[in-house]
Structure 1
């Protein structure tokens, strides 16, 4: 049930009737007609722009269209009033029974708010994809939560979602990992490790060194690098990926596909992807201008194989092969995305860290060149996270060597608090993670405030059971919901009605933070009703000696809990029934 979509259908049907009657001319395009909440709630429950967008093509005054449409809409029992405002806006007020029916639907419709928007289209969401050289750190945690919540949101909206991790195991950083692990192996064999500049110093590699000792004994000691580098590279990468999977599992993040960059090399897949570009005339031999900040005398122009990325909105053409014949970092990324293109996705979404901002245009250009208009490609940048405690920047354990780990964060405040708080800002806005706020039990802490609303509903249900009042969903849905007639109750019901629409808006925009914002607003409306009940006996959820009225009011509370649970499920947060 999407009430806004239902009323839009009513508007379109009414416009169709006006066309049939000759009030409107034939052939008007209706795609731009919307039904949305008004900017000012005092203007009504919903507003439609129909008269404004149809006036010019119809050759009519907006107010004339609005007046005729108002008459049509007013005949529907769901519409209590349809008021023409300003130059031709039409504000709608719905009958209380409409909002009461929303409560009933939330209790009877499994997965209330789920949408068929995606129509089963295949979507690939790639996120985290941190280098396999150490634990997941706080910065990666935000991308992990965002990507995981986005994938769940798209699934909830009817898409077929693949969650993917790109293992960056093809570059020189994995050689550095192998050399770092070898020093820990030497340490496990009783030698003093020589962790020089450029190696990874974190003690998370101690266990890898001990595992290497267990497998190889002393056989690799004093051997030249060429004899052990390849084997230790594979061993250490596998160990790091196991650690990364374990770290992500702490947040409830589990991906479907782990794609190895290394698998692209020596398999012909890079060549195949570039052949597609070449067949379209998008590769050529050329030289690039000096990078910004380089003086001409510092720059040695070299002929390279270039991709015409400027044909697709990039600032400059991009090299895919160096003058020495080796691939650039961009080449395997093109091949990887070509692999995703060939898998038949309707949408591809990449979640990048803020430091990849300069990579967006070239990657969008490559996918546009490879796929044309066959799919949509979106890149979401995740801005930095700053940690604070007692009002000051906070540094936790640095067992990783140079950064604070996701594991440290989760152990400090819990996975649910991490996940919810990471979504309290839009992905492209910086986020302050204040431990005092995250652990505070007040409305200033969004995760507490939402969970507290759910816990209050659970307490109402427990008290109803103690009072002998049946409060299962079927009984509540059958209650006389016309008893929910107070404005504070209808306000909460109106908020519930926004849920299906909000899901679709968030899914279309790839914006899971909207779910967190909505849940906070829903909790605010619920707590406001609860607090008014402290002063007004008639607004309390349990009415002593009046089971019928109690059940109607409990139905509203239970519907709020249903939506809270659905929303928290998208965010990957477990609803609680008691606050401790």
Structure 2
């Protein structure tokens, strides 16, 4: 059930009836017609822009269209009133029976309420985290992992066929540095004195890896040159780091469907195949780029390079794909990786990048557009920094990593549920403050607590009512006509009605933080109704009469179903009691 969609369908049917009567011309485009909550709830339950968007193509005054449309809508039993405001805005109030039917429908549908078929099985690849396998993931990776995972769940909830993917950056020089760092820990495990040179990784997390290498090869690599051990230690270290990363992700509740190795692109012809595809389309050429902005002729040396004509697909400048020594630039394997994703038949690609990858957005979009002939859209979300605080002071150090706060540090300190919800309270392209004290604070200023408390309150009501002999099963409650006589109850029902619409908006815009925002607003409505019951006993969920309690509990149970579904999208477990 999608009440906003149902009322929009009623508006469209009314417009078509006016067309059939000759009051409106045929051939009008009705896609822009919307039905949404009014900006001011005092104006009604819903508002439609129909008259405003149809006036120009219909060559009619918007108010005249609104008056005719209002007359049609008033004839429907679901519409209690249809009022024209201003130049042609149309505000609607729904009949009490509509809100009552909504609450019972939610109980009948359970967690299916709000699910959408909008995606129609569209195959989507969501690539996120993709941290270098050189150490534990830091708090920035945690935010990217949470956003990507929630986005994948949201899209699946909206009817998309989603693949969660991790791109292992194991093809660059940083993996050689990892191998050398592990070798130093290997020497330590043999009792040797070592010194970590600049550029190596000194974190304690490599101590057990060095010990494990010793257990595997014994003293075979002692006093040997890199030619003997570098390749094998690189593979061993990468596997150990990926095991660590998988374990950290699991602690956060993140599980990938597919891991793709950058290294698999080298020496296999896969990069060459992707570049050939672009070359066959006339998009690869030898040329000289203009100097970058800020460079003067004195410090700029023009040179001929192999370039991808990315400007043909929306980029600002063409991009080098091969260095002067004949080796690939970093861009080339990224092209090949996305070529692989396109070749696997995905209809849409989403990449979650760190904020430092902002300069990569246009070139990657251009590459995917070229590789797919414009058929596969690529959306790139940039994740801004997380600023950590504790006791009001910046919090920086991790003994385990040596230089930064790890993902596991965050999970160990506040728990996965708190970390996930809080990191979804803001748009990913906005910086986020994460205060270890405030995120576990039990107050209404803490959205994590406020939403969980709403769910726990409802569970408490259900337990108490059940203990008093009230049948609070969903089957029983779904057969009860709920009370909906007070404006606070109708306001809560109206917020429930908005759930399917918010799911579709969030899925369409790839913005899972909208779900967290909606849940906070729904919790506020629930707490508001609860507090009104302190002064107005008739609003309390528990009444002296069992049937009266059931009529009140229907609405509360509907709220708990939606909160549970929303938290499920965010990857957060709803609590049944606060401790």
What's the TM-score once normalised by structure 1's chain length? 0.98
Separation (CA, whole Å) in 2 of partners of 1:308 and 1:132: 32
Q: Which residue in 2 is equivalent to 1:17?
A: 17
Q: Which residue in 2 is equivalent to 1:166?
A: 167
Which segment drifts farther, 22-31 or 505-514? Answer: 22-31
Q: Which residue in 2 is equivalent to 1:91?
A: 91
- Equivalent residues in 2 for 1:134-213, closer than 5 Å: 134-213=135-214
> Is contact 1:398–1:405 with CA below 8 Å preserved after alignment?
no
Q: Cα deviations across residues 111-148 of structure 1 (Å, max 9, x unaligned)?
A: 21100000111000000000000001101000000000
1:506 aligns with 2:501: no
Q: Which residue in 2 is equivalent to 1:378?
A: 379
Q: Which residue in 2 is equivalent to 1:224?
A: 225
Q: Cα deviations across residues 153-185 of structure 1 (Å, max 9, x unaligned)?
A: 000000000000000000000011011111011
Q: Which residue in 2 is equivalent to 1:28?
A: 28
* Change in 2 beyond 3 A, CA 1:293/1:22: closer
> Is contact 2:368–2:374 with CA below 8 Å preserved after alignment?
no
Separation (CA, whole Å) in 1 of partners of 2:489 and 2:32: 33
Alpha-carbon shift at residue 315 of structure 1 (Å): 2.0
- Equivalent residues in 2 for 1:396-415, closer than 5 Å: 396-415=397-416
Q: Which residue in 2 is equivalent to 1:515?
A: 515
Separation (CA, whole Å) in 2 of partners of 1:276 and 1:440: 55
Separation (CA, whole Å) in 1 of partners of 2:489 and 2:543: 15
> Is contact 2:179–2:237 with CA below 8 Å preserved after alignment?
yes
Separation (CA, whole Å) in 2 of partners of 1:73 and 1:194: 80
Q: Cα deviations across residues 239-291 of structure 1 (Å, max 9, x unaligned)?
A: 00000000000110000000000001111111111111111111111122333
Q: Which residue in 2 is equivalent to 1:118?
A: 119
Structure 2 residue matching 1:109: 3-state secondary structure: helix
> Is contact 1:114–1:156 with CA below 8 Å preserved after alignment?
yes
Q: Cα deviations across residues 408-433 of structure 1 (Å, max 9, x unaligned)?
A: 11110111000000001101000000
Separation (CA, whole Å) in 2 of partners of 1:297 and 1:183: 43
Alpha-carbon shift at residue 295 of structure 1 (Å): 4.0
Separation (CA, whole Å) in 1 of partners of 2:170 and 2:157: 33
Separation (CA, whole Å) in 2 of partners of 1:254 and 1:193: 37
Alpha-carbon shift at residue 398 of structure 1 (Å): 3.0
Q: Which residue in 1 is equivalent to 2:553?
A: 554
Separation (CA, whole Å) in 2 of partners of 1:134 and 1:185: 16
How much is the aligned-residue C-alpha RMSD, in angstroms?
1.0
Q: Cα deviations across residues 501-555 of structure 1 (Å, max 9, x unaligned)?
A: 10000000000000000000010000111111111110110111x1111101111
Separation (CA, whole Å) in 2 of partners of 1:76 and 1:398: 67
Q: Which residue in 1 is equivalent to 2:367?
A: 366
Structure 2 residue matching 1:328: 3-state secondary structure: coil
Q: Which residue in 1 is equivalent to 2:75?
A: 75
Q: Cα deviations across residues 212-231 of structure 1 (Å, max 9, x unaligned)?
A: 10011011011111111110
Alpha-carbon shift at residue 293 of structure 1 (Å): 4.2
> Is contact 2:104–2:481 with CA below 8 Å preserved after alignment?
no
Q: Cα deviations across residues 20-61 of structure 1 (Å, max 9, x unaligned)?
A: 111111111111111111111111111111111111111111
Separation (CA, whole Å) in 2 of partners of 1:164 and 1:21: 54
Q: Which runs of 5+ in 1 are unaligned?
A: none
Q: Which residue in 1 is equivalent to 2:59?
A: 59
Structure 1 residue matching 2:498: 3-state secondary structure: helix
Q: Which residue in 2 is equivalent to 1:336?
A: 337
